[in-house]
Amino acid sequence: MDGHWAVAAAAGHVEAGESVFEAAVREAAEELGIAIDPRDLVPRAVLHRTSAPHGPEDERVDFFFECRRWDGEPRRLEADRSADLRWFDLTALPEPVVPHELRVLAGLRGGHLPLVATHGFTD
């Protein structure tokens, strides 16, 4: 979302034959230039989200991982797809944040993040 801060410095799609852990490791290498051991990825949340016009391409399932150890210095390798890369404390987030990601960050900050959540549905 242009003009918004994203929590996910590395994000993308799972490729054929790839687990979500393998995808996270690959995306971190491709987008941030860092190497992550999949054993260092801690699942924090799964977010099933939808957005208008609610077609098949608007339905997503996002996996959020915590990672506190990696090799290399994170840097933007896809500068055409992001404007900046910074660290923020959960109590001092920039504005605006991508809405569905803000839902996850607010849950982490408040200590009430469900393992599986939804965003954009009427329920």
101's tokens = 């990601």
- Domains of the chain are 20-119 (3.90.79.10)
Percent of the chain's residues with pLDDT above 90:
77
Residue 46 pLDDT > 90, yes or no?
yes
d(CA 12, CA 63): 10
Q: What share of the chain is helix, strand, coil (3-state, %, to 5)?
A: 30, 20, 50
Query: Chain-wide mean pLDDT for the chain?
Result: 92
Q: How far is CA 79 from CA 2, 17, 84, 85, 92, in A?
A: 13, 28, 8, 10, 24
Rounded to two decimals, what is the model's pTM?
0.90
Strand partners, 35: 71
How does residue 9 score in pLDDT terms, banded at 50, 70 and 90? confident
Residue 96 pLDDT > 80, yes or no?
yes
Type of residue found at 86: R
